[in-house]
Structure 1
């Protein structure tokens, strides 16, 4: 009993252990604070009005009425606006060309240009969608007015203006919530890295096989609790909670087993940390949320298949957002079992190296 208490005290008296084990709370709060707004609104935009007509004023008012846009500055030329885009003072600039109203009245198609900072992918997408939505509305209003002057029938004028009515229904993330989009990938990937760091640090205190198993149990307990809180925060309302809880435990055991394997093979803490960092750090790029795995190169697909978090995220998305996701989730769980093979392999290597 004394030896067992001494072993647990060894694990728990390390301040770095405490730092790693409590890090999910601080990182989770930080990410939630960064992405609290969820949907980009009132993005600063510049405008160049070369027409200065009634129509251009209507377009400016419509753009400013869109919740995603905020016409903050007016410029006389694109050259004057470029420094503001480069300095992030504005995200985009809209150019209304000369003779815009005249061309519209004559039925001449006139392009309106939107220049935006492509460094911000989600912001750029929001700007482009808001810009197109506003222009389509104005274009339809112009067509209705033109048709009404010819046919003197409002219903016919509307039918001629938009004979086909498009009804789009997003099946996932319907409100373009970039918090939901990014946190689904960022938080699990950060959690996986902390699981690996926690296990690695616990192993530095281990001398005997019994201590290795105790470290595995403690790491699994701590980070499974954090994983459960993570899943609860991401709000999978339609999910099978029992399956998700199993996925959480399998993820922690799988990552811990891989770290144990590195520890059994290498022993040098610095080199192990390097391998663990190289293994877990690129998770966000290969997890398949920000970019589809099926569109990656063969190397990208292979690296994604080596990461336990890839299967966990597939399981989570299947359960949280797909109507018939249980079968897909169970398939992902079965693939996660592969990583548990590193556990007996690690113990075997440690025994051969003389760890009692």
Structure 2
């Protein structure tokens, strides 16, 4: 039974089946509230996939990923409200701006490792939020309002059903592209750095450039998620990009299985939907949600859907080193 489940989990049919289930969901629950929750979950999936490139593929601990989410949302918001561009027209600018932001933030920080890198990225994430809170062009604490909905060649996609399916298609493409990156030559270099950065550098991998590529790619994914967020909410404010947002995205990556695209999708959906499902118990829902997360991490320390190992019959190794047993032999 376990072998059959493992084979099914690694089969190529899982992705299309999951996408089909997501596409059929509005036919079962078509209320505006449910469509809004499912759209938010899909946007959160794109955020988690972007952070998975940084944390899961390359092994860089980033605690300020919400900064790129904010850069993408504010860039599209400013261009659409002050310069009259549609959100689709802002996408190339958002990609360029978030790519530049990833390079500018990554250049001074990616020479650090482990906890030092996490602290510095956390600081940059807060700097971006504070800048958005104080700059006049971003609307200050009030943010930007009146952002137009998505439209493509004159076809309005701002109704709940149209927006959900548009976001679903874009997120599916983002997940597919991230998976292709993982299987590319650059993805293999990221994997080497994740396992042992010193060994990768000794084997000729330019670790600094490769890490910068991962950081910049994750920034682009986060910026595109910001565009979708602006389209859904029609407004952005600094309160949407606090540290808790970065922590939740990182939680989704760890919960699903670092480095596993399928696992990260499952983890992001769980982080988005479980609090809504527990809404009936009111103030105790976050306590129950935390208890569920603790139970999952105790019984599934590698994640709900861990990254398959290249060695047959094994899954991704634990992030915590296993104890080393020492055997003594009698010398004659």
**TM-score after normalising by structure 2:** 0.23
By percentage of residues, which structure has more strand?
Answer: 1
Structure possessing the higher relative contact order (Cα contacts under 8 Å, 6 or more residues apart): 2
Q: Please identify the structure whose Cα radius of gyration is greater.
A: 1
